[in-house]
Amino acid sequence: MIVISKHEALHTRLIFFLFGVGVMMIAPRTPDIKANLHVNNGTLGTLFSIGTIGAFISLLYMGQIVHRFGTKRVLVVAATWLYVAMIIQPHIHSTWLFALDQIAAGAGWAGYHITINSQSLHRQSLSGIPILPKLHGTWSAGALITAVIAVGITSHVSLAWHVDVGVSIIWLLTMYSIYSLRDVMVPGSKVPSQSESQASIKSILTFIKEERVILAGVTIGILLEVAANDWASLYSKEDIKASSSMSILPYIAFMIGMIIGRLNLHIAYRYFSERFLIRNSALFGGTTFILFIQLASHIAPQHPTLGLALAFAGFLLGGVGSAFISPMFTTIATRHSKFPAGFVVAQMALFNTVIFFFTKIAVSWIAQATSITTALMIPGICLLLTAAFYRLGRETVSATS
């Protein structure tokens, strides 16, 4: 066993935190992206979903790349690739160029995601301390901070200046943290080359076949999280008629809900079983989200402030309800599967990426044909349906779940 130093712990948390700040910087400003491209909601959502093509390709081969070059080199390239693609986005006015840039950004995101998780899983296995859940909470905190910053500057700073300056700073700080961790970064020779890193088509299909029920549960359970990233700000701006800066508040509410839920999951485990948490968090989050956003959309035309407050409440409670789903199902999958944890995490991400490509397009064109409020019913209902998968969890209370 090794002891993770305070220096290593600090810079590992910083890498996750900075990832959250950087990768989610554009999410609160989707109305500005839409204005730049002069597209409708259906086309915008389709363009966002195209990024999953790059993510899929990257997820498929990233294990082999990390095994060959090690986490330090791959993380430097992936972070640089991702942030260059992001800096370009605010300057694009062509849908075709934007689609290509989304594919590039998706590949960079997946490379970054797999590499930092591979690094953390390796150090976690050596230390015997479960550090990954808290690191994911740190990522959520970064995503929240970038949304709060957006509220303060959206009315005063253009999208281009916001992203160009912000992403550049994040990249520099990320490079510093990677350099600070250079002595503990995993060399390629120590990254498992077969079962954990490499994902052959045969192994992927075997995993999907054996864990199809778990994959179905987690995929529909986290669809609300995906939809909130894409649509929360645009929903409040177009359906609630909030101002540019205030339209970011529902997105902030969702991230606060996610952080509250994930940082308190270990406490919930002391008192409730996995079955109880899956069923009741899904029912609570789905019901409150659907109820409040429907009320918000109906009340906002006459009472815009109340409508925005209801939307804030809906996304906040929806975030709390959906926060448990991903970490719990990941825990269940790694416990149940014969494959190592790193492989399980990578293949769950790969499967979700494929499914999200189609569901995000469906949500986009429902939003175009009806309204964003109606389209958001889909992830809300999906979260409700996740309650049906509660039997996958343990029936007994266990603090080590």
In the chain, where are the structural domains located? 1-198, 210-401
Assess contact for 389 and 88: CB atoms under 8 A.
Answer: no
C-alpha span between 399 and 138 (Å, rounded):
21
Band the pLDDT of 209: cuts 50, 70, 90. Answer: confident
Q: What is the CA radius of gyration of the chain?
A: 20
CA dist list (Å): 323 to 180, 282, 284, 317: 31, 9, 11, 10
Cα first-last separation, the chain? 22
Task: Supply the DSSP string of 349-391, one letter for each residue.
Answer: HHHHHHHHHHHHHHHHHHHHHS-HHHHTHHHHHHHHHGGGGGG
Binning the chain into helix, strand and coil, the percentages to the nearest 5 are: 80, 0, 20
Mean of the per-residue pLDDT values of the chain: 87
Band the pLDDT of 133: cuts 50, 70, 90. Answer: low
Residue 193 has pLDDT above 50, yes or no: no
Under DSSP, the state recorded for 240 is: S
Chain CA centroid to CA 168, Å: 21
Q: What is the pLDDT of residues 324-375, one digit of tens each?
A: 888 888 878 878 877 766 677 777 877 888 888 888 899 999 999 999 999 9
C-alpha span between 326 and 137 (Å, rounded):
12
Task: Supply the DSSP string of 147-192, one letter for each residue.
Answer: HHHHHHHTTTS-HHHHHHHHHHHHHHHHHHHHHHTTTTSPPGGGS-
Please say whether the structural domain 210-401 has been given the CATH code 1.20.1250.20: yes
pLDDT of 202 reads 73
Band the pLDDT of 199: cuts 50, 70, 90. Answer: low
C-alpha span between 277 and 242 (Å, rounded):
34
Q: What is the pLDDT of residues 231-255, one digit of tens each?
A: 998 999 999 998 888 888 999 999 8
Under DSSP, the state recorded for 339 is: S
Do domains 1-198 and 210-401 share one topology? The answer is yes
Q: Report the CATH fold assignment for 1-198.
A: Growth Hormone; Chain: A; (1.20.1250)
pLDDT of 196 reads 44
